[in-house]
Structure 1
């Protein structure tokens, strides 16, 4: 194990505290928003703090999630600056790939935010703010979680642009934590909409 670490030290400097801090931030963010959102769904904590206005409560969570995301990105960039570069990334082709990933990733993220709106993007479902119809157009006709995959692409593009192997490692972590988050989020969200459909069906039968 010591030999492996010694061989990798030229690529990734694991002694840098900024690397561990960035990794912790990447793991923390989805844990935070899933924990807070589920507490809101079951106990309406944020809505109560917002004077009973669920939409204001959702906006508050949106600001918190967005701010944590910016802070995480700054920590990621700081970690990359402290890491060794690799000459394999210092080529025109690498730059083209990096910019293509950054552009594509940002298109996926921004277009999904546009399609979902603020409450749709920032877990409005957990606040009882449900969308009328499932969004199936671009970019959701490309992948089921464009915001997560787009963000992962942006992390990878940044790593390649900076020429840092450590960035590749952190990008893998980003992908893993997002995939884990989806395993919790997708079934829970589906359950919320299934519950509404059941209530609507029941109400329809009463009207008849």
Structure 2
């Protein structure tokens, strides 16, 4: 911890961005689910609303990464981490992390990745292919791996602290996202069952 310069504003801005992003998309998406406020901005077009929040989240992600890079540039390096072996580990972590993130986005699509279910754009079935057959939350794991890989590449102990914080933030976010998403699909299942019962009654 003595190798982390907590007096740098850039470090706190990076941590603030990491905190803000999942907080923003969780609050915005839940409000959309309950009030459809984003959809209403696009004349009831749910897909346009989802694409809008997708671009917003993507932009915030780029800003977060830029702030992280700026913070690391002002932090002291640790010679012990500046070795070929550590750099190799860093490359593997970053490559693996990006593989999880990109493949998750490919499998889920734009609406599946960026909170489409909160807009009522639900997937027909659970995605079970790679990387979801390896990890339950590959996008969050992949993002954390990328932070760790970048931190090791630049030999910044501060990056390791930030990476731990990233994992903490994502863990907390998942405690709220997981149950809420499960509730959305549970309601759809209940609605479909009720509809089937109505159809069966009419047949009788």
Measured in 2, the distance between the counterparts of 1:154 and 1:180 equals: 19
Q: 1:205 aligns with which of 182, 197, 203?
A: 197
- Indicate yes or no: 2:174 matched with 1:173: no
The C-alpha deviation readout for 1:122-156, integer Å capped at 9, x for no partner, is 00000000000000110001111000000000000
Matching of residue 73 in structure 1 with residue 62 in structure 2 = no
- Segments of 5+ residues of structure 1 without an aligned counterpart are 1-7
Which residue matches 1:109? 101
What RMSD, in angstroms, separates the aligned Cα atoms of the two structures? 0.5
1:85 and 1:170 mapped to 2: Cα distance?
14
Residue 41 of structure 1 deviates from its aligned partner by: 0.2
Please give the residue correspondences for 1:76-155 in structure 2 after superposition, counting only pairs within 5 Å: 76-155=68-147
Give, in whole Å, the separation in 2 of the partners of 1:50 and 1:144: 33
Instruction: Compute the displacement of 1:88 (Å).
Output: 1.1
How far did residue 200 of structure 1 move?
Answer: 0.3
- 2:180 corresponding residue in structure 1: 188
Counterpart in 2 of 1:158? Answer: 150
**1 CA distance for matches of 2:4 and 2:104?**
34
Shift in Å, 1:70: 0.2
Q: How does 1:57-68 map to 2 (within 5 A)?
A: 57-68=49-60
Deviation of 1:89 (Å): 1.0
Count of aligned pairs between the two proteins: 200
Instruction: Compute the TM-score of the two structures, normalised by the length of structure 2.
Output: 0.97
In the aligned structure 2, how far is the partner of 1:31 from the partner of 1:15?
Answer: 25
